[in-house]
Structure formats: structure tokens, C-alpha cells
């Protein structure tokens, strides 16, 4: 069931919020031990909030489509009175006395918080093999990676434990688990959703967004969390709109850019075939598919890596003397960041400004871009090397290669499932638009979804 | 070519030898991709340290 379907069931009194929350809790009890999607389950709190939601609906106080809907958030969002670990030993006992703006807005919209989701330690990696809270498993195949860093968010949504989840995305950390777990994941424009109350990884690259089981549901969550927040210095005053796509929304005449460089180099042929299939479907729905050359993507990737190393190490500096409190992969990245020269960081931020200016010229030619989200479906857990296009590649760099650039550019990007690999693993399609054009990329995603681009539900979801 | 071992020493980075080699390998690869980008960076381009997505130079 999607949020949209649950909304009708709640309004028709076929189901209550308490029944939805109870079903979610029972399911989490049954499968979380194997998936390790949650770090903290807030059953008592959720039931209390669900009872309030039911009472409000009975009295005619309807908070909107998220009213009474079970959700969960990555354990990087501050939650008042609920432990917030960042997936890290460093913050294992942190209990905030306030909630992150995005969490507060979800609760204001009536969503019922089921708990805090497992993740890659400090959101600094893409495997979600957390050394302290256990390795998150992919619901499609437990031997394969769920992606990360928001791996618990992807797994919990795919496995039907919650209807939607919040994640964060600094170099693909929403879109990668969405692609590997077969969910929809949206990284909005930088500044569209407040970062206030989110443990930072890299201040100028961090984005907050939803993972959900349909494009429409992702839009419903965005509606609740988007908007200016004076407590976040990067928050934008750009006006918010209703992001939900209309039923039967058309993409006729829309100019879709299909990259002729970078995005289809060194990738799995099954991924290429599925993404080309989605593009053909867009064309059959009336979109005008235009081949385009994308400027500077390898350079933008290098710029993003330089900024990430420096910013992550800067804010973790007070803790770096205690090596035993970090996993070896995260410690290695934090130590790399300590060796980045200040001049290189500043120049990376100058190059970023120039790259954004050059990239924006592309929007004169096309309205949005279609690319793969990742160059392969979920790799086996612990694979030491990614073999793509006949060459070995660092799995972290390979997995982030097609997504990181849009964190540097701050542009909105949606990942949605577009097929299954021969071994039955989801493949992700990425739709990128100009700044603050979330509604456009959601409309494209919804049209493709309605046009048959997608995958069947994960089998564990109906178990 | 940067002398990463000297930079690590100067930064007081106390890391076991094999770990330091891995760090140096990763940074050298990044530096190789990053350094050439600086050659035609004109002085009027300011850093996007407080980055706002509304900005567009198109």
C-alpha cells in the first residue's frame, strides 16, 4: 500500500492510524533483526501519536495526506528525547532536546514516527555496513549491498516497514540506496529543505529528502518538509508550490536531454539497457528526447570530493584524536581530509561556482536530463573492486560517479526504479532538473511510472 | 607532485605505515584530477562557500 492508498483507507475509516502503526511495529519486530534497518524503534511513542492522529481525524481536524502515516528518519536527524547517533560511536548517547526542522514539519503534518534508521557511519560511505549497529541488508537479496549512506531508509521503505523515510544526500546518499533497494528517492535543490538539526557531513553539499514507494508519495513528503527555515543559513526563500504530480500529467513536448558522454561510459549493460528503455518510453509518451553533451562531469566529481574531504574533517576535528571511535573506512577519509590544503578547498569552491554557471547553459537546450543513477545494480556486500567496462574501480568512487556532481551543482535529482537485473536486483533511473524544478522532475517520474516504467514490489514486502 | 608523507608529518598525523600509504594513494589520485582544473581559473571567480542554488551565471 502507498501513502496515497492509505490516505483513502484512513478517511473512509477502513483503517485507523493505530492499526497502521501497529501493523508497522509488528512487521519491524518480525524482520528488523535480519535487515537491521532500524537503530531505534519508537513503538510506544508511535502508538501514542497514532492515537492522537485518530482522535483528531474523528473530531474533523485533518492535517493532510501524511496524517496518521507511519514514517521513519535516518538516525542523523535530531529527534527530541530520542537518541540520535549519526550511526556513530561518537554520538551513541546523544539525546537532543529539539527536533530537526524536517522532522518537526513531518510531525506537524500528522506523520507518525516509528523510529530512527540505520546508516553508514556518520553518513560517510555508501555500504551501510555499520560497525556499531550492524550491516543493513538489501531486502531484495541479503547478500547484496543496500547502498548508502541512507541504507536503512532504503531497506525500510522497500521492505514495507514504513510508508516513507527521510534520508540525507551529500554525494548520492539518498539516490544510491533508492536505486539499490528499488524505491523512489529525491534529492531536492540545495536549500529547498532545511538542514537545521541534521548532523552535518559536509555543510555545503548536504541535502535532505524523502525515500518512498512511489513518485507521488515522495512528492507528498516533499510538500510537508520544503520551505524556508531561518535556522538554516543555506535555506532558500524561493517559493514552495504543491509538488504532487496531477493524475495523467503529460510530458508531451518536454525536451529531455539524453547524455552522449560520461553517463554511459563504464557501466553495466543491463543498466544501460533499462535506462535506454525508460528513455524510449518517455519518447513514446510524447517527450522530445535530445542527445546532449554534459559539461565537465569528471571535473565536477573531483571538485565535490575535495570539498567533502575538507568539510567533513573540519567539523569532526575535535574527535579525531580517538581513532578507536571510528570504523577504518571513515577514519581513513577523515584523515585524508586533514591533509587537504586550505587553498585547494577554496579553489574547489571557486571551481564549483564556475561549473554551475557552465552547467546552467544546458537548460537552454533541454528541460531535464535522464541518466542511470548508478553504473550497476547493487554489488555483493564486501566486493573489493567494481568491475565496469573491463576495468577495476574503487567501489565507492564507482557508485557515486553518476550522482555526486548534482550535489556540487545543488540541482534536484530523482531516482526511480526502471528495471530489474538478470539476478533480480533493482536498477535506478536518475532524472535531473534545473534548480527548484522539483515539480518538473516529479512530473516526469510520475508519467514514466504511470507509463509502466518500474518494478514489482520487493517480495519481502509482502512476506 | 606533493610530498604527502611530509605533509602528513607536518600536520601531526600519527597513522600506521600501511594506512598512511592508502591515504596517500587516494589523495594522489584526487590531486591528479584536481590540479589541472586550476590552470585557467580567473581571479574574479569567488568561492561558493555560502552557496545558494538560486545563483546562475547562464
Mean pLDDT across chain A, nearest whole number? 96
Identify whether A173 is a catalytic site residue.
yes
Residue B15 is predicted with a pLDDT of 87
Superfamily covering domain A23-46+62-462: Amidase signature (AS) domain (3.90.1300.10)
On whether the CB atoms of residues A440 and A433 are closer than 8 A, the answer is yes
pLDDT at B56: 54
Q: What is the pTM of this model?
A: 0.96
Buried b (16+ CB within 10 A) or exposed e, A16-35: bbbebbbebbebbeebbeeb
Alpha carbon separation from A225 to A103, A114, A168, A196, A271 (Å, rounded): 8, 17, 13, 12, 32
Count of domains forming chain B: 1
pLDDT above 50 (res A129): yes
Helix (H, G, I), strand (E, B) or coil at B13: coil
Q: What is the pLDDT of residue A462?
A: 61
Contact call for A305 and B11, based on CB within 8 A: no
Domain range enclosing B29: 4-38
Long-range contacts of range A105-109, CB-CB < 8 Å, 24 or more positions apart? A105/A224, A105/A225, A105/A227, A106/A66, A106/A71, A106/A73, A106/A166, A106/A221, A106/A224, A106/A225, A107/A49, A108/A63, A108/A224, A109/A63, A109/A64, A109/A65, A109/A66, A109/A67, A109/A224
Residue of A236, A328, A336 with shortest CB distance to B52: A236
Contacts of B36 (CB under 8 A, 6+ apart): none
How do residues A217-228 score in pLDDT, each as one tens digit? 999 999 999 999
CA distance, residue A340 to nearest chain B CA (Å): 8
Tell me if B48 is assigned to some domain. Answer: no
The phi, psi pair for A370, rounded to 5°, reads -115, 130
Contact (CB<8Å) B49/A191: no
Domain segments of chain A: what residues? 23-46+62-462
Helix ranges, A59-93 (H): none
pLDDT, tens digit (0-9, with 9 covering 90-100), for A191-211: 999 999 999 999 999 999 999
Query: Is B50 domain-assigned?
Result: no
Among candidate residues A88, A128, A145, A149, the one labeled active-site is A149
Q: Which of A302, A361, A364 sits opposite B37 (nearest CB)?
A: A302
All residues of chain B having their beta carbon less than 8 Å from the beta carbon of residue A338 are 11, 13
Interface of B with A (CB under 8 A): 4, 7-8, 11, 13, 15, 19, 22-23, 26-27, 30, 33-34, 37-38, 41, 45-58
Select the more confidently predicted residue: B17 or A342.
A342
The closest CB to that of A353, out of B15, B45, B58, belongs to: B45
Q: Which residues of B touch A356 (CB under 8 A)?
A: 48, 55-57
Classify residue B55: in a domain, yes or no.
Answer: no
Counts for chain A of helices (H) and strands (E), in that order: 14, 15
**Is A74 one of the annotated active-site residues of the chain?**
yes
| Band of pLDDT at residue B54, cut at 50, 70 and 90 | low
Q: What is the pLDDT of residues A344-385, one digit of tens each?
A: 999 999 999 999 999 999 999 999 999 999 999 999 998 888
C-beta of residue A128 within 8 angstroms of C-beta of residue A143: no
**Does residue B58 sit within a domain?**
no
Residue A202: count other Cβ atoms within 10 Å of its Cβ: 22
Establish if B27 belongs to a structural domain.
yes
Catalytic residue selected from A88, A145, A173, A204: A173
Amino acid at each position: 500500500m502507498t501513502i496515497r492508498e492509505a490516505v483513502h483507507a484512513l478517511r473512509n475509516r477502513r483503517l485507523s492510524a493505530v492499526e497502521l502503526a501497529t501493523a508497522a511495529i509488528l512487521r519491524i519486530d518480525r524482520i528488523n533483526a535480519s535487515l537491521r534497518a532500524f537503530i531505534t524503534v519508537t513503538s510506544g511513542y508511535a502508538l501514542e501519536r497514532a492515537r492522537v492522529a485518530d482522535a483528531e481525524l474523528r473530531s474533523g481536524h485533518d492535517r493532510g495526506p501524511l496524517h496518521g502515516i507511519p514514517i521513519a528518519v535516518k538516525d542523523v536527524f535530531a529527534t527530541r528525547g530520542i537518541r540520535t547517533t549519526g550511526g556513530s560511536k561518537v554520538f551513541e548517547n546523544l539525546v537532543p532536546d529539539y527536533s530537526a526542522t524536517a522532522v518537526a514539519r513531518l510531525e506537524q503534518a500528522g506523520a507518525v514516527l516509528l523510529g530512527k534508521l540505520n546508516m553508514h557511519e556518520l553518513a560517510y560511505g555508501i555500504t551501510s555496513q555499520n560497525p556499531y549497529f550492524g550491516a543493513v541488508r538489501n531486502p531484495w537479496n541479503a547478500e547484496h549491498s543496500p547502498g548508502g549512506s541512507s541504507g536503512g531508509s532504503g531497506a525500510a521503505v522497500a521492505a514495507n516497514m514504513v510508508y516513507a523515510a527521510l534520508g540525507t544526500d551529500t554525494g548520492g546518499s539518498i539516490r544510491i540506496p533508492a536505486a539499490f533497494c528499488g524505491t523512489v528517492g529525491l534529492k531536492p535543490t540545495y536549500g529547498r529543505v532545511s538542514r537545521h538539526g541534521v548532523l552535518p557531513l559536509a555543510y555545503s553539499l548536504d541535502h535532505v529528502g524523502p525515500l518512498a514507494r512511489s513518485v507521488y508519495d515522495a512528492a507528498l513528503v516533499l510538500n510537508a518538509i520544503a520551505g524556508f527555515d531561518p535556522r538554516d543559513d543555506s535555506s532558500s526563500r524561493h517559493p514552495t508550490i504543491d509538488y504532487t504530480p496531477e493524475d495523467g500529467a503529460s510530458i508531451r513536448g518536454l525536451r529531455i536531454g539524453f547524455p552522449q558522454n560520461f553517463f554511459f561510459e563504464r557501466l553495466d549493460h543491463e543498466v544501460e539497457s533499462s535506462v535506454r528503455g525508460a528513455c524510449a518510453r518517455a519518447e513514446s509518451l510524447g517527450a522530445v528526447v535530445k542527445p546532449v553533451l554534459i559539461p565537465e562531469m569528471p571535473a565536477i566529481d573531483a571538485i565535490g570530493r575535495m570539498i567533502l574531504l575538507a568539510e567533513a574533517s573540519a567539523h569532526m576535528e575535535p574527535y579525531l584524536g580517538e581513532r578507536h571511535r571510528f570504523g577504518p573506512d571513515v577514519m581513513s577519509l577523515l584523515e585524508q581530509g586533514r591533509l587537504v590544503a586550505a587553498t585547494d578547498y577554496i579553489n574547489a569552491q571557486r571551481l564549483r561556482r564556475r561549473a554551475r554557471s557552465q552547467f546552467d547553459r544546458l537548460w537552454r537546450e533541454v528541460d531535464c536530463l535522464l541518466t542511470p543513477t548508478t553504473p550497476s545494480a547493487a554489488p555483493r556486500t564486501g566486493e573489493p573492486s567494481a568491475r565496469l567496462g573491463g576495468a577495476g574501480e574503487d567501489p565507492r568512487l564507482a557508485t557515486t560517479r553518476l550522482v555526486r556532481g548534482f550535489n556540487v551543482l545543488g540541482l534536484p535529482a530523482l531516482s526511480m526504479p526502471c528495471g530489474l537485473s538478470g539476478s533480480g536486483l533493482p536498477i535506478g533511473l536518475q532524472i535531473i532538473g534545473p534548480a527548484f524544478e522539483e515539480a518538473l522532475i516529479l512530473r516526469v517520474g510520475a508519467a514514466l511510472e504511470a507509463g509502466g516504467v518500474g518494478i514489482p514490489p520487493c517480495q519481502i514486502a509482502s512476506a | 607532485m606533493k610530498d604527502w608523507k611530509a605533509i602528513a608529518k607536518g600536520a601531526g598525523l600519527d597513522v600506521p605505515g600501511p594506512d598512511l600509504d592508502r591515504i596517500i594513494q587516494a589523495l594522489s589520485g584526487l590531486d591528479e584530477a584536481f590540479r589541472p582544473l586550476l590552470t585557467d581559473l580567473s581571479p574574479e571567480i569567488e568561492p561558493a562557500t555560502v552557496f545558494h542554488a538560486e545563483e546562475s551565471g547562464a
